[in-house]
Amino acid sequence: MVEFANVEVRIFLKENEDENIADVEDKIFELFDINKNNLVKVENPSKEDKSFYNLHSSNIEHFKNKKFHFFKSISKGFENKNIYFLNFVEKNSDSVKKVLEKIVKKLSDEDFEKLLLTSDTRSDENNKFFLRLDKKEFLKDNFVIVDSGNVVHFSFHIITYPKNKVEALKQIILFIKKVRE
């Protein structure tokens, strides 16, 4: 059975785009089954303009297996417009599996086949499996696989000993197929 070290989700938002930063955050928290009210800001360990958040809750049972981190930063782009960078990381293998299950279940049959057919190009020698979902569709709760453009980047890190791209790819394909059975 596949085991994950983590999943990392990266999203870029430009100032004055159609997407609202709060809507994007909310959709990610929904995907990870996280109540945004349980996040606490952590003091920034660097002098960079970043905001770090971790989970905190008096309901320890709900969060004892969560290893979720979220940070956002702001940079300046062309014409001095803000570019927001959102980064989400979940390090609990079971939680990562649930996220991938949700994504796979919401894919159209066409995108599911595309995922399987292009799985080799979506993996690397570091046992990472990459997905890019259309950002506008993602916000509508439609998961559409794309290869470029305005996207939500997912990077699933698969655990194999020793590190082996072929074995990692085999495990992820079996997992994906099982989800759609």
Kindly tell me if the per-residue pLDDT of 73 is higher than 50.
Answer: yes
At residue 74, the 3 state secondary structure works out as: strand
Confidence of residue 58 (pLDDT cuts 50, 70, 90): very low
Instruction: Quick: pLDDT tens for 22-31.
Output: 888 889 989 9
Q: What H or E segment, with its residue span, contains residue 39?
A: strand 39-42
CA dist 169 and 156 (Å) reads 11
CATH classification of the domain holding 58: 3.30.1440.10
Token duo for residue 12: 């870029």
Instruction: Quick: pLDDT tens for 136-164.
Output: 999 999 999 999 989 999 999 999 988 88
The residue segments making up the domain with residue 86 are 4-179
Domain count, the chain: 1
The arithmetic mean of pLDDT across residues 170-180, rounded, is 95
C-alpha gyration radius of the chain: 17
123 beta partners: 129
Q: How far is CA 148 from CA 49, 63, 72, 85, 131, in A?
A: 27, 34, 22, 17, 10
The arithmetic mean of pLDDT across residues 109-131, rounded, is 96
Q: What mean pLDDT, rounded, does the chain reach?
A: 84
The arithmetic mean of pLDDT across residues 127-139, rounded, is 95
Q: Which pLDDT belongs to residue 137? A: 95
Q: Are 87 and 71 in contact (CB under 8 A)?
A: yes
Token duo for residue 10: 């990266």
| 165-179 vs 93-106: helix crossing angle, rounded to 10 | 60
Neighbours of 115 (CB within 10 A): 20
